Amino acid sequence: MSEIPDLGPVPQRIEVDVELVRRLVGEQFPQWAHRPIEPVAQGGWDNRTFHLGPDMLVRLPSAAEYALAVDKEHRWLPILADQLPLPIPVPLGRGEPDAGYPYPWSVYRWLDGETATRERVGDPVRFAEDLADFLLALQRVDATDGPGPGLHNWFRGGTLRTYEKLLEEELPGRVDAGPIREIWAAALDARWDGPDRWFHGDIAQGNLLLTGGRLTAVIDFGTCGVGDPACDLAIAWTLLTGDGREAFRERLSVDDAMWARGRGWALWKALATEDEPVLAEILRA
């Protein structure tokens, strides 16, 4: 067995305010200095995000580990965007570290839409099929020279054993520890032996945008990479309905092994975020 990678310490996040963003934009992108700047509501965890006028945004990593994704996004997102059926973020400019801010950062076009929830999705089966079609298109993109699992995406696309220590820390005292261990063991036993495929890495409701109840954009590719795409299946338990889950799996033609790994990713995510409703759905499904 290959050595299990070390996730390292918890990232030390920094805060960013409007005045700092205004200065960074004014100094490095003076052509956009006149645009109003304000924080994006629910702007994310890995990055500090700000509106730059009505149709652009500034995205600044909140820790050194998250800054590792900036060069990756600038290299690969324009290539991916040309081959996907839905809009994704494409960088408009790359900002440099500054005395008041230590990491590279980005300017993007703003993508309209409201974040997906079960209540907002108009047709759960169609939504699931549209999402599956997006992931199929992503997996078809040539993975040659793509970024493999690493700290830049917290080892998504690699083995779930990376997270085994974290999972064990969540289990003591849980009445459902037995079933959780069974699902986890099944995920670890279902090993990936296929070719590298592109994956998003964080297909979650906050990164799926709706217009009129339909999926119209996918955002936040900071954890994207190439490897085992099973991590993108976690959404089947975290957002999709029962009928949507069946349609999603059928559209993707997912075999039992990949489905087990995807369920393992969903399990890890539910435990890490202490999302008991989702955990109950995983145990029940």
**Domains, in order of start, for the chain:** 18-109 (3.30.200.20), 114-284 (3.90.1200.10)
pLDDT: is 86 or 166 the higher one?
A: 86
Residues above pLDDT 70, as percent of the chain: 97
Non-local (6+) Cβ contacts of 51 within 8 A are 36, 37, 38, 39, 40, 57, 110
1 band by pLDDT with thresholds 50, 70 and 90: very low
Residues above pLDDT 90, as percent of the chain: 88
pLDDT at 7 over 80: no
pLDDT at 6 over 70: no
pLDDT at 265 over 80: yes
Dist CA 254 CA 87 (whole Å): 25
Instruction: Please count the CA atoms within 13 angstroms of the CA of 77 that sit on its side-chain side.
Output: 27
**Amino acid in position 97:** P
pLDDT at 80 over 80: yes
DSSP letter string, the chain: -PPPPP--SPP------HHHHHHHHHHH-GGGTTS-EEEPTT--SSEEEEEESSSEEEEEESSHHHHTHHHHHHHHHHHHHTT-SS----EEEEE--BTTB-S-EEEEE----EE--TTT-S-HHHHHHHHHHHHHHHHHS--TT---SSGGGTTTTS-GGGGHHHHHHH-TT-TTHHHHHHHHHHHHHS---S--EEE-S---GGGEEEETTEEEEE---TT-EEE-GGGGGGHHHHT--HHHHHHHHHHHT--HHHHHHHHHHHHHHHHHTT-HHHHHHHHH-
Per-residue pLDDT tens digits for 98-131: 989 999 999 999 999 999 999 999 999 999 999 9
Weakest mean pLDDT among 42-46, 82-86, 252-256? 42-46
Q: Model pTM?
A: 0.94
213 band by pLDDT with thresholds 50, 70 and 90: very high
Q: What is the pLDDT of residue 11?
A: 79
Per-residue pLDDT tens digits for 238-260: 999 999 999 999 999 999 999 99
Answer for the pair 97, 104: CB distance below 8 angstroms, yes or no.
Answer: yes
Q: What is the pLDDT of residue 9?
A: 67
Dist CA 227 CA 149 (whole Å): 7
pLDDT: is 15 or 229 the higher one?
A: 229
Cβ atoms within 10 Å of 189's Cβ, excluding its own? 11
